[in-house]
């Protein structure tokens, strides 16, 4: 590769990088929310999910150029808003009351072959965690859930976008018996919706 070609690529990359800085750190906030109601003095957590289909979701990608080949790695996050209602009558809990969650992004109709890496292609995002839904001596209640996005996509997918199905499960925690229920039995809410025509955008360009 001659010096003029190298210099041309560096100049183009500099302008692309300058443009990309304006969108660095973007987080796509999903339409809808997860609700959690805290009931009774002991703090029973009842989750419900109200998340709906979303179109043209912007998601940022880090692109690496090696000679003439691009490697594209999604480098962004999704934000799920939380709507928490505390009807326990308590201003502060000694211990947190928690809502657990699982979020999966799934490609429908993903070809089985090549078999190597199939599961990662089928389900590129698998997130698990928990959030506090009350103010306690150990911290404040959460306002949202942030799902990190880190997965590879092809050049074709980067240019054309894709559709992904999102599956969400939320589980409240029962710290005691309610109406004869088994102590500690969880309350589970689930939902499924789609990200339609995802708009992949370049976050940064790395030249190797």
Backbone torsions φ then ψ of 133, nearest 5 degrees: -110, 10
What separation in angstroms does the CA of 192 have from each of 4, 57, 142, 153, 164? 52, 16, 23, 23, 11
**Considering all CA atoms of the chain, what is the largest pairwise distance in Å, rounded to the nearest integer?**
78
Q: Are 188 and 169 in contact (CB under 8 A)?
A: yes
Q: Using CA atoms, how far apart are residues 61 and 174, in angstroms rounded to an integer? A: 40
Per-residue confidence in pLDDT tens, the chain, 208 aa: 454 444 444 333 433 343 333 344 458 899 999 999 998 888 889 999 999 999 999 999 999 999 889 999 999 999 999 999 999 999 889 988 999 999 999 999 898 889 999 999 999 999 999 999 999 998 999 999 999 999 999 999 999 999 999 999 999 876 444 444 445 556 789 999 999 999 999 999 999 8
């Amino acid at each position: 590769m001659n010096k003029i070609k190298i210099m041309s690529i560096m100049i183009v990359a500099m302008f692309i990088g300058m443009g990309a800085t304006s969108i660095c750190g973007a987080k796509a906030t999903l339409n809808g929310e997860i609700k959690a109601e805290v009931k009774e003095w002991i703090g029973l957590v009842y989750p419900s999910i109200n998340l709906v289909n979303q179109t043209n979701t912007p998601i940022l990608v880090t692109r690496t150029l090696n000679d003439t080949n691009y490697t594209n790695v999604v480098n962004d996050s999704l934000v799920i808003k939380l709507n928490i209602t505390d009807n326990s009558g308590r201003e502060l809990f000694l211990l947190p009351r928690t809502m657990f969650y699982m979020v999966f992004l799934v490609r429908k109709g993903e070809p089985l072959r090549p078999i190597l890496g199939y599961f990662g292609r089928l389900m590129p995002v698998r997130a698990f965690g928990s959030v506090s839904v009350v103010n306690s001596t150990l911290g404040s209640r959460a306002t949202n859930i942030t799902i990190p996005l880190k997965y590879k996509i092809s050049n074709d997918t980067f240019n054309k976008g894709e559709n992904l199905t999102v599956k969400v499960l939320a589980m409240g925690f029962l710290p005691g018996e309610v109406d004869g229920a088994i102590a500690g039995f969880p309350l589970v809410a689930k939902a499924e919706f789609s990200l339609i025509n995802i708009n992949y955008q370049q976050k940064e360009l790395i030249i190797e």
